[in-house]
Amino acid sequence: MKVNGTPTRTIWRAEDGAGVEIIDQTKLPHAFVTTRLETLDDAARAIKDMLVRGAPLIGATAAYGMALAMRADSSDEALTAAHDQLYATRPTAVNLRWALADMKRVLSPLSPSQRENAAWLRAAELCDEDVAINEAIGDHGLDLFGEAWEKKGKTGTLNALTHCNAGWLATVDWGTALAPIYKAHDAGLPVHVWVDETRPRSQGASLTAWELNQHGVPHTVIVDNVGGHLMQHGMVDLCIVGTDRTTAAGDVCNKIGTYLKALAAHDNGVPFYVALPSPTIDWSIKDGLKDIPIEERSGEEVSVITGRTESGEVVSVTITPEGSPCGNWGFDVTPARYVTALVTERGVCRATEEGLKSLFPDVAGNAAAE
Ligand SMILES: CSC[C@H]1O[C@H](OP(=O)(O)O)[C@H](O)[C@@H]1O
């Protein structure tokens, strides 16, 4: 998408071919800073410390991390060690596993001398594929927004609620949940977005709001707990969120708090859509609650908050008493029964095994055979 009018992706190979450039998302919204990854360790740290985050972007960064690793040492041992180091960075987004498996499939059969170049090429292909997938999600999601606008009688504004950041900052470009919002806005639909701030890291307040500002999309940042109230009072026409892992039966793992929004949407008859790129489908599992690992991060992400002072200085402050432990579960699972539909790059389907198989008969079958 554009940053100050300039088309920009979240990750790209450096012009000198020896490094990888990323947007440091820990600096947004108060500063737009890019940083250069030179080594496998740099890439692993960028994922673990969330300079880059979002399931598709985590996968893309891991792919480029493999290229940086092969640049340093392209032996069989180094290939396996790089895969394992990157795999261990964050447990929930299945794109990490998928991208690393893809890179290993491409690199393992090659001679060490061929691996670095092949890794750079494959990582770039995965990024381009992500962009195409997300734009297609935008196109299919636009149809749903059009239907919602018709249903509303084409009056007022079309109010969409989203949670966390599933925008272009969570991917290489376009985003997943925000792609239909950008497409609808650009098509002239009067879309307004309720942006859940999404504690504790505030990806909504700091990233989604920043993205929507850049694109000129009307929005309102809200605290995480107000969404149900807005739905009770008819102020939300639809919800659309991203996902970090969706099971073959349509259970959706996403940022903590998503499940509660889905419950409120179900109780108030508000459509609850999940933007789902196929690399985020885990075909090997059906029961999300039982089988999806939920990341637990440091309690400091809860007790410490960062912001900008009136003088423009960015500072961090502690908001909890000394000695109060803080729990920090990063994700939750929304059972498929609370999902109205899945918006994929191949179209919209029910959040069921049959629905996903109808769109991905080629993939579902293979995965089941593995
Ligand atoms: C399009 S994936 C976006 C997804 O990833 C976020 O998690 P995190 O910021 O911790 O990487 C969140 O669950 C978003 O919905």
Tokens of 54: 């979002």
Which residue in 246, 239, 277, 255 sits closest to 353, CA to CA?
246
CA of 167 to the centre of ligand 1 (A): 9
pLDDT at site 369:
44
CA angle 315, 26, 11 (to 5 degrees): 155
Same domain for 91 and 146, yes or no, is no
Measured in residues, the chain has a length of: 370
CATH number of the domain enclosing 176? 3.40.50.10470
50 plus 181 within the same structural domain: no
- Looking at 97, 129, 161, the residue that finishes a domain is 129
Domain that holds residue 78: 2-129
The C-alpha atoms of residue 209 and residue 197 are separated, in whole angstroms, by 9
130, 237, 244, 332: the catalytic one is: 244
Question: Which DSSP symbol is given to 205?
Answer: I
Q: Do 150 and 191 reside in the same domain of the chain?
A: yes
Q: Is beta strand 34-37 parallel, antiparallel or unpaired with respect to 219-222?
A: unpaired
| Cβ–ligand 1 contact at 246 (below 6 Å) | no
Q: Please state, in angstroms and as integers, the Cα–Cα distance from residue 353 to each residue in 140, 231, 251, 329, 349, following that order.
A: 20, 29, 10, 27, 10
Q: Please choose from 165, 298, 302 the residue to mutate so as to test ligand 1's pocket, defined by most ligand atoms within 8 A of CB.
A: 165
In a domain, 135, yes or no: no
Is 346 found in the same domain as 305? yes
The answer to whether 95 and 58 have CB atoms below 8 angstroms apart is yes
Domain identity same for 114 and 255: no
Is residue 172 domain-shared with residue 88, that is, in the same domain? no
**Structure-block tokens of residue 206:** 């700091």
Quick one: which of 90, 304, 60, 274 has its CA closest to 164?
274
Question: Which of the listed residues 254, 294, 343 should we mutate to test ligand 1's pocket, taking the one with most ligand atoms within 8 A of CB?
Answer: 254
pLDDT at site 367 = 57
Q: What is the pLDDT of residue 366?
A: 64
Structural domain contains residue 134: no
- N-to-C CA span, the chain: 37
Based on the fold, state whether residues 122 and 157 are members of the same structural domain: no
Instruction: Tell me the CA distances in angstroms from 218 to 9, 116, 159, 214, 252, one per residue in order.
Output: 22, 44, 10, 11, 27
Residue 55 marked ligand-binding: yes
Are both 113 and 166 inside the same structural domain? no
Query: Which tokens in the block code for residue 156?
Result: 């007022």
The count of domains in the chain is: 2
Q: Is the CB of 164 under 6 A from ligand 1?
A: yes
Q: Is 71 annotated as a binding residue?
A: no
Is residue 254 within 8 Å of residue 219, measured between CB atoms?
A: no
| CB distance 3 to 15 below 8 Å | no
Please tell me the residue having the least CA distance from ligand 1 atom 13: 255
Q: Which atom of ligand 1 is nearest to the CA of 55?
A: 2
Cα-only R_g, the chain:
20
- The domain spanning residue 94 has which CATH number? 1.20.120.420
Query: Measuring CA to CA, which residue among 339, 160, 344 is closest to residue 262?
Result: 339
DSSP state of 225: G
Do 63 and 106 meet the contact criterion of CB atoms below 8 Å apart?
no
The one-digit pLDDT tens for each residue of the chain (370 residues) are 889 889 999 999 999 999 999 999 999 999 999 999 999 999 999 999 999 999 999 999 999 999 999 999 999 999 999 999 999 999 999 999 999 999 999 999 999 999 999 999 999 999 999 999 999 999 999 999 999 999 999 999 999 999 999 999 999 999 999 999 999 999 999 999 999 999 999 999 999 999 999 999 999 999 999 999 999 999 999 999 999 999 999 999 999 999 999 999 999 999 999 999 999 999 999 999 999 999 999 999 999 999 999 999 999 999 999 999 999 999 999 999 999 999 999 999 999 999 999 999 998 766 544 4
Nearest to 66 by CA among 91, 93, 36, 96: 96
Domain final position from 129, 162, 183: 129
Rounded Cα gap, residues 203 and 268, in angstroms: 26
Amino acid at 20: V
Q: Are 301 and 275 in contact (CB under 8 A)?
A: no
Domain end position, chosen among 103, 129, 155: 129
Q: Do 20 and 149 fall within a single domain?
A: no
